[in-house]
């Protein structure tokens, strides 16, 4: 029998669909990502299995049951690849090798197999903007090896007003100082938007595009479920061809510190239009694997940028793209934000997002001060609940489920290059990401149960004796218990598929409702004030009259299992509480 290409494709798709339904549970397989709970692991600081004070893959593997039990659908691990670790793995020597301090490829494969077995997916960090300066590609490029000559952004120096030859332009690195470094071997400057040890790849070179697509395929062939894409919006710089063969200087921003990235505006090094098509090309590769492996392949991109530019990553109408990380909770919610302000922040993303796309909610990552330190411990349950009950993907950074705070790291102990580059023993902490990368608190034993070693790569925060997983598992009420209860609600039909309604009842009461026909509705109520309040939800007409408390935050007096009437609900000061209607909605 001869099939047309279209028929063949149809058969293939239905075969894959069949396969997906046969081997994966309902709602899983092709749709898993749409409501996934993604847990970010910073491998160096999660769990050390061999006592060297550095977290590793076997450590992560040993904690998979903890993550599964918490309700996690997928883990995203910050980079685990061969690297000199100037930027702790974001400077990659070889995209296909595992860093020895984290383990071996066999360890990775064992971790992946174990994760699959228990139903946790693995998302790989993908760092396309730059490699390490120890990468073979870079070493060969400095020597003008014809295959690698244009792999990086090289330029001749230019003569400055002082008559001396200096960098090709005034561009500044995100990590301070000139973004250009001279290579005596090559006799030219190379661009590094981050560290000197992180040379930028040249995406105007087709060989680089191909090379990086092969990296995507390599990890998909291993069976990963997708990628978190690093620093996507600095991937391109302007083409000097359009500027008389030179890289143009960037305009001043009005800032005062000439070595600081913020001293300049970045029209020539950030958010360039060319970026989006590369993302859409990667999406096409991922789509090939949906058919091959019967599972949707996920891609989330990291760009700190304006909302309208952010939304372009979703696709352009003709082509699909990625999910852009939603950083509005990080940037726009403060420790004093009231209910109305928080509602507007939520609405902002939902309003800008193109219709039919999947939202996502992020409360932290390895580059940000921890949620509990940023907004206060009494807002952790609140923010976790919002991130878990809003539509779409939830991203949790390790430790948010127990309200871990930033640890103190002295100048002597400081490792983060962004802080070291300040050369300032007094003010370094303003730039340091080390406090939010201190080791995870498992229990109250030595090194918080993170490592049996005599020292750890960053000091363990001193509040670990009381603030740890074991203590919170054993206590009747804790951030952990609450997180887990709300994560379980995320799996209900109402939260997966239901309509969203957000309402403020006062400056301090925010109510989030998820309702779908034929199933109990879910309501999250937040009290941001330091006074107990009584909330009347009668104005939510479709919400059934009786509700049961499904998750009660650490500051709530109303306990799990209690039944209440919707017209009078006691919500204590700082309480985040989730309720499920006793009867089906609507
Ligand atoms: C963003 C990463 O999250 C950060 O940790 C890293 O330093 C830069 N990109 C450079 O790769
Ligand atoms: Mg180790």
- The predicted model gives 415-442 an average pLDDT of 97
CATH of residue 451: 3.20.20.80
For residue 538, the SS3 value is coil
Q: How many angstroms does the Cα of residue 48 sit away from the middle of ligand 2?
A: 4
Q: pLDDT tens digits for 208-256?
A: 999 999 999 999 999 999 999 999 999 999 999 999 999 999 999 999 9
Decide: 369 and 335 in contact? Cβ < 8 Å. no
Q: Is residue 478 part of a domain?
A: no
Domain of residue 246, residue span = 130-200+238-271
Q: Which residues are registered as beta bridge partners of 527?
A: 509
| pLDDT band at residue 161 under the 50/70/90 scheme | confident
Q: What is the sign of the dihedral through the CA atoms of 105, 110, 116 and 122?
A: negative
Which pLDDT does position 19 carry in this prediction?
43
Mean confidence (pLDDT) of the chain: 95
Based on the domain organization, do 160 and 182 belong to the same domain? yes
Give the integer Cα–Cα distance in Å for 262 and 572.
42
Which pLDDT does position 7 carry in this prediction?
46
Q: How many domains does the chain have?
A: 3
Active site residue 302: yes
Decide: 466 and 311 in contact? Cβ < 8 Å. no
Angle between helices 479-490 and 380-389 (to 10 degrees): 10
Based on the domain organization, do 19 and 121 belong to the same domain? yes
Q: Which atom from ligand 1 is nearest to the alpha carbon of 418?
A: 7
Q: Give the active site residue among 230, 250, 401, 416.
A: 230
- The predicted model gives 478-488 an average pLDDT of 98
Q: How many angstroms does the Cα of residue 205 sit away from the middle of ligand 1?
A: 23
Based on the domain organization, do 247 and 319 belong to the same domain? no
- The predicted model gives 337-366 an average pLDDT of 98
Which pLDDT does position 291 carry in this prediction?
87
Q: pLDDT tens digits for 97-142?
A: 999 999 999 999 999 999 999 999 999 999 999 999 999 999 999 9
Is the CB of residue 231 below 6 angstroms from any atom belonging to ligand 1? yes
The helix (H) or strand (E) run that includes residue 496 is: helix 493-497
Based on the domain organization, do 140 and 289 belong to the same domain? no
Q: Which of 429, 384, 382 has the alpha carbon at shortest distance from 408? A: 429
Which pLDDT does position 20 carry in this prediction?
41
Q: Is residue 87 part of a domain?
A: yes
Q: Give the active site residue among 48, 125, 302, 400.
A: 302
Decide: 341 and 347 in contact? Cβ < 8 Å. no
Based on the domain organization, do 306 and 395 belong to the same domain? yes
Based on the domain organization, do 83 and 148 belong to the same domain? no
Based on the domain organization, do 185 and 218 belong to the same domain? no
- The predicted model gives 517-546 an average pLDDT of 98
Based on the domain organization, do 64 and 187 belong to the same domain? no
CATH of residue 151: 3.90.400.10
Which pLDDT does position 245 carry in this prediction?
96
Domain limit, last residue, from 440, 456, 473: 473
Is the CB of residue 303 below 6 angstroms from any atom belonging to ligand 1? no
For residue 553, the SS3 value is coil
CATH of residue 522: 2.60.40.1180
Which pLDDT does position 6 carry in this prediction?
44
* Atom 6 of ligand 1, nearest CA residue: 90
Classify 397 in phi/psi space as left (phi over 0), alpha (psi -120 to 50) or beta. Answer: beta
Mutate which of 230, 416, 437 to test ligand 1's pocket (most atoms within 8 Å of Cβ)?
230
Quote the pTM value. Answer: 0.95
The helix (H) or strand (E) run that includes residue 159 is: strand 158-159
Q: How many angstroms does the Cα of residue 49 sit away from the middle of ligand 2?
A: 5
Is the CB of residue 200 below 6 angstroms from any atom belonging to ligand 1? no
Q: Is residue 576 part of a domain?
A: yes
* Atom 4 of ligand 1, nearest CA residue: 367
Give the integer Cα–Cα distance in Å for 49 and 43.
11
- Residues 6 or more apart whose CB falls under 8 angstroms from that of 282 comprise 213, 216, 227, 229, 299, 322
Based on the domain organization, do 21 and 167 belong to the same domain? no
Would you tell me how many other CB atoms lie within 10 Å of the CB of residue 357? 16
Which pLDDT does position 23 carry in this prediction?
44
Place of tokens 């509040």: 463
* H helical segments located in 41-120: 57-62, 64-70, 105-118
Active site residue 262: no
| pLDDT band at residue 29 under the 50/70/90 scheme | confident
Percent residues over pLDDT 90 in the chain: 94
Which pLDDT does position 17 carry in this prediction?
42
Q: Is residue 488 part of a domain?
A: no
Q: How many angstroms does the Cα of residue 43 sit away from the middle of ligand 2?
A: 9
pLDDT at 4 over 60: no
Which pLDDT does position 536 carry in this prediction?
98
């Amino acid at each position: 029998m001869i099939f047309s290409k279209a028929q063949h494709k149809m058969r293939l798709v239905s075969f894959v669909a069949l396969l997906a339904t046969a081997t994966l549970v309902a709602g899983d397989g092709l749709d898993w990502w749409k409501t996934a709970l993604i847990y970010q692991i910073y491998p160096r600081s999660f769990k050390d299995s061999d006592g060297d004070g550095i977290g590793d893959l076997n450590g992560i593997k040993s904690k998979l049951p903890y993550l599964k039990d918490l309700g996690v659908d997928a883990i995203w691990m910050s980079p685990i690849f061969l690297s000199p670790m100037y930027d702790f793995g974001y400077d990659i020597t070889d995209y296909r090798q595992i860093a020895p301090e984290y383990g071996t490829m066999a360890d990775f494969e064992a971790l992946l197999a174990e994760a699959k077995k228990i139903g946790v997916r693995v998302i790989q960090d993908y760092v396309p903007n730059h490699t390490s300066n120890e990468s073979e590609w870079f070493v060969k490029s400095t020597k003008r090896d014809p295959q690698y000559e244009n792999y990086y952004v090289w330029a001749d120096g230019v003569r400055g007003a002082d008559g001396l030859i200096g960098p090709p332009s005034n561009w500044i690195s995100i990590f301070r100082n000139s973004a250009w470094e001279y290579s005596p071997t090559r006799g030219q400057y190379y661009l590094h938007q981050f560290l000197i040890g992180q040379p930028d790849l040249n995406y105007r070179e087709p060989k680089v595009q191909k090379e990086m697509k092969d990296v995507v395929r390599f990890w998909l062939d291993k069976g990963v479920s997708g990628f978190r894409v690093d620093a996507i919006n600095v991937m391109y710089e302007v083409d000097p061809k359009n500027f008389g063969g030179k890289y143009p200087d960037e305009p001043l921003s009005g800032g005062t510190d000439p070595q600081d990235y913020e001293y300049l505006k970045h029209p020539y090094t950030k958010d360039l239009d060319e970026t989006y098509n590369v993302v859409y090309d990667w999406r096409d590769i991922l789509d090939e694997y949906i058919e091959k492996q019967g599972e949707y392949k996920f891609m989330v991109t990291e760009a700190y940028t304006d909302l309208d530019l952010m939304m372009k990553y979703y696709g352009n109408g003709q082509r699909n793209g990625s999910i852009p990380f939603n950083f509005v909770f990080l940037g726009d919610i403060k420790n004093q934000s009231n209910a109305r302000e928080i509602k507007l922040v939520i609405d902002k993303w939902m309003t800008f997002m193109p219709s039919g796309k999947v939202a996502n909610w992020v409360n932290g990552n390895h580059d940000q001060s921890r949620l509990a330190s940023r907004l206060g411990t009494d807002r952790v349950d609140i923010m976790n609940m919002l991130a878990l009950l809003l539509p779409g993907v939830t991203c949790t950074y390790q430790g948010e489920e127990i309200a871990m705070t930033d640890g103190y790291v002295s100048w002597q102990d400081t490792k983060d290059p962004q802080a070291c580059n300040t050369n300032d023993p007094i003010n370094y902490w303003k730039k340091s990401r080390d406090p939010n990368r201190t080791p995870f608190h498992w229990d109250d034993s030595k090194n918080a149960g993170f490592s049996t070693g005599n020292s750890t790569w960053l000091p363990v925060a001193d509040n670990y004796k009381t603030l740890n997983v074991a203590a919170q598992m054993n206590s009747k009420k804790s951030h952990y218990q609450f997180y887990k209860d709300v994560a379980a609600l995320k799996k209900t039909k109402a939260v997966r598929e239901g309509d969203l309604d957000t309402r403020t009842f006062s400056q301090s009461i925010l109510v989030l409702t998820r309702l779908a026909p034929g199933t109990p509705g879910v309501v999250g109520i937040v009290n941001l004030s330091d006074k107990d309040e009584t909330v009347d939800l009668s104005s939510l007409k479709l919400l059934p009259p009786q509700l049961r408390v499904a998750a009660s935050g650490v500051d709530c007096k109303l306990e799990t299992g209690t039944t209440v009437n919707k017209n009078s609900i006691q919500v204590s000061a700082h309480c985040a509480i989730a309720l499920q209607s006793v009867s089906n909605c609507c």
